[in-house]
Amino acid sequence: MLRIPAFKMSVVPAMVAGSLMLSAVPAHSQDASVTITAPADGETLDIMEQNQIVYDVVPGPDGDHVHVYVDDEEVGILRQLTGSYTFETLAEGNHTLCIKVVNKAHVPIGVEDCVDVTVE
């Protein structure tokens, strides 16, 4: 008989478009966290500057490293859990910048932090 291990799940609240939704995530993912310390959410960035994202990550038991995303497109792989990443270029306009914890297979584990910025 094939036995499949049961995963303990936890229900956590999430705000989506002003509505409260419940999301099931593995309980051990709650031991992981991502904090973006710069830029601030809503910040305006100078198109002529070398813009960076500054972060701090606790990968938890399922995480291995982090990926950087601009508008849902992966732009970098980071092995340092605390540090910064300098974007090559950010086009003028509104962007969502994210840091996501991933496992050794580069699959996001559901732990991330994002900020919305405007580049002028």
Cα angle, residue 58 at apex, residues 19 and 40 outer, rounded to 5°: 55
Q: Would you say residue 63 lies in a domain?
A: yes
Q: Would you say residue 80 lies in a domain?
A: yes
Average pLDDT, the chain: 84
First to last CA, the chain: 61
Tens digit of each residue's pLDDT (9 = 90 or more) over 9-29 = 444 444 445 544 444 444 445
Whole-number pLDDT of residue 31 = 87
pTM exceeds cut of 0.95: no
> With 70 as the cut, is the pLDDT of residue 54 above it?
yes
DSSP-assigned letters across all residues of 63-93: --EEEEEETTEEEEEE--SEEEEE-S---SE
Total domains in the chain come to 1
Q: Would you say residue 24 lies in a domain?
A: no
Query: What's 42's domain CATH number?
Result: 2.60.40.10
